[in-house]
């Protein structure tokens, strides 16, 4: 990477002809129809609001935006989303890396184990949400049962309806389903690392721990960054588990940004305010993702 940037010459893998337009046109049409037009419509929408009496959208200027700044529900849901984001991303990354390191072997059987990992990912998130809703049920849920056995919760505190535990309960489903995704990406990275430096490290006397910190982690940096980026963007719009498991409750304990904007839009028919909320979510994701890309030195 730095060789290319140092010399200022950008080398391309493919030769693109002098007339790229015919090849770009289909993509441009798709983008305009499904991404750019909805985006601008959303922006337009955020300056309007649905008026129930006239049953039409009316121009309201900056009202939605000023309402947003003073909306404690919004700030609350933002901080809940951030907490969800940080905890889920950290755990999925760390656990994912541990599992990936364990599965990075050529012995027979490991291929099957790697294939099994994809099973979590093919289940629809809403179904996973229902599974965990049942498993965390205080009467007959297996997770509640186990936690009660260890005295961590008692029968009087149902996980999903106690304000201090509900978010953790939702995170459980999230982490169970998405850690394998991290494992798959990290494993693909690990399996493609060169073996020679590892041989040199053995000769140099590095312990497994030193090898991981000084060799694997730096060599995996870009793969990790990409995994964090993809998963991170996804985490910001968490909706399914919350919708199925808690509906944002108890109280506002699991109100995430996307759940809040969904509710404003479709339950309260505040189309303009809902659009404003989702725009803000988009802006936050864009800003955070770009800062991350800059600092992680990911090159597209």
Partner 1 sequence: MSKVEFKNAQKAFGAVKVIEGLSLEIPHGSFAVLLGPSGCGKSTLLRMIAGLEKLTGGEVAIAGKRVNDVHPRDRDIAMVFQNYALYPTMKVRENIAFNLEIQKLEKREIERRVSEAADILNLRPFLDRYPKELSGGQRQRVAMGRALVREAGVFLFDEPLSNLDAKLRAHMRVEIRQLHERLGATTLYVTHDQIEAMTMADIIVLLDKGAIVQVGTPDEVYEKPNSVYVADFIGSPSMNFFDGEIEADGEEVRFRAANLSIPLEARYRGQAGKSVKLGVRPNDLHFAADGAFKGEVILSETTGAEVQIHVRIRDSDVVAVAPRTERRVHGEAVALSVPPGKVHIFDAQSERRIEPQ
The least distance separating partner 1 from the CB of residue 216, rounded to whole angstroms, comes to 10
Contact pattern for partner 1 over residues 213 through 252, marking x by CB under 8 A: -xx--xx-x-------------------------------
Q: Of residues 203, 267, 295, 300, which one binds partner 1 by CB under 8 A?
A: 203
Q: Of residues 91, 95, 201, 289, which one binds partner 1 by CB under 8 A?
A: 201
Q: For residues 91 and 296, which CB has a smaller minimum distance to partner 1 in the complex?
A: 296
The least distance separating partner 1 from the CB of residue 200, rounded to whole angstroms, comes to 4
- CA distances in angstroms from 296 to 99, 200, 229, 267, listed in the order given: 23, 27, 10, 40
Helix (H) or strand (E) holding 210: helix 208-211
Q: For residues 43 and 208, which CB has a smaller minimum distance to partner 1 in the complex?
A: 208
Q: For residues 201 and 288, which CB has a smaller minimum distance to partner 1 in the complex?
A: 201
Site for partner 1 in 91-150 (CB under 8 A): none
3-state helix, strand, coil in the chain (%, to 5): 70, 5, 25
* Alpha-carbon span 222 to 298, nearest angstrom: 6
- Helices 72-103 & 217-236, crossing angle to 10 degrees? 140
Asked whether position 204 contacts partner 1 by CB under 8 A, the answer is: yes
The least distance separating partner 1 from the CB of residue 238, rounded to whole angstroms, comes to 34
Paired strand residues for 51: 56
Q: For residues 176 and 198, which CB has a smaller minimum distance to partner 1 in the complex?
A: 198
* Alpha-carbon span 212 to 215, nearest angstrom: 6
* Alpha-carbon span 254 to 170, nearest angstrom: 8
Asked whether position 196 contacts partner 1 by CB under 8 A, the answer is: yes
The secondary structure of residue 269, as a DSSP letter, is -
Contact stretch for partner 1 (CB under 8 A) within 95-103, 124-132, 182-190, 196-204: 196-204
Asked whether position 27 contacts partner 1 by CB under 8 A, the answer is: no
Q: For residues 95 and 193, which CB has a smaller minimum distance to partner 1 in the complex?
A: 193
Asked whether position 197 contacts partner 1 by CB under 8 A, the answer is: yes
Structure tokens at 234: 């996804």
Please, is 88 exposed, middle or buried when counting C-beta atoms within 10 Å of its C-beta (0-12, 13-18, 19+)? buried
In terms of Cα–Cα distance, which of 102, 125, 123, 122 is closest to 114?
102
Asked whether position 2 contacts partner 1 by CB under 8 A, the answer is: yes
Which spans of this chain sit near partner 1 (rule: CB under 8 A)? 2-3, 6, 194, 196-197, 199-207, 210, 214-215, 218-219, 221
């Amino acid at each position: 990477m730095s060789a290319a940037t140092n010399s200022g010459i950008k080398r391309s893998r493919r030769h693109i002809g002098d007339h790229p337009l015919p090849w770009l046109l289909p993509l441009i049409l798709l983008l305009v129809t499904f991404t750019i037009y909805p985006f601008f419509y959303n922006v337009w929408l955020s300056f309007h609001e649905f008026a129930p009496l006239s049953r039409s959208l009316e121009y309201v200027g900056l009202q939605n935006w000023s309402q947003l700044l003073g909306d404690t529900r919004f700030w609350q849901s933002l901080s809940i989303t951030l907490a969800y984001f940080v905890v889920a991303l950290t755990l999925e990354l760390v656990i994912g890396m541990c599992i990936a390191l364990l599965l990075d072997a050529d012995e027979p059987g490991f291929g099957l184990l790697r294939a099994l990992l994809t099973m979590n990912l093919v289940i629809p998130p809403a179904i996973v949400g229902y599974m965990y809703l049942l498993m965390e049920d205080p009467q007959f849920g297996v997770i509640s049962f186990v936690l009660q056995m260890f005295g961590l919760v008692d029968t009087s505190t149902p996980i999903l309806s106690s304000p201090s535990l509900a978010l953790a309960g939702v995170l459980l489903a999230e982490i169970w389903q998405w850690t394998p995704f991290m494992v798959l990406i990290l494993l693909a990275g690990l399996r493609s690392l060169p073996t020679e430096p590892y041989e040199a490290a053995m000769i140099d006397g590095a312990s497994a721990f030193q090898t991981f910190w000084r060799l694997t982690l730096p060599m995996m940096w870009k793969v990790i960054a990409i995994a964090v980026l993809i998963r991170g963007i996804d985490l910001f719009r968490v909706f399914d588990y919350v919708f199925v498991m808690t509906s944002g409750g108890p109280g506002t304990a699991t109100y995430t940004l996307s759940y809040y904007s969904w509710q404003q839009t479709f339950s309260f028919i505040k189309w303009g305010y809902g659009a404003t909320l989702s725009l803000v979510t988009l802006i936050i994701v864009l800003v955070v993702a770009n800062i991350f890309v800059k600092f992680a030195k990911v090159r597209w």
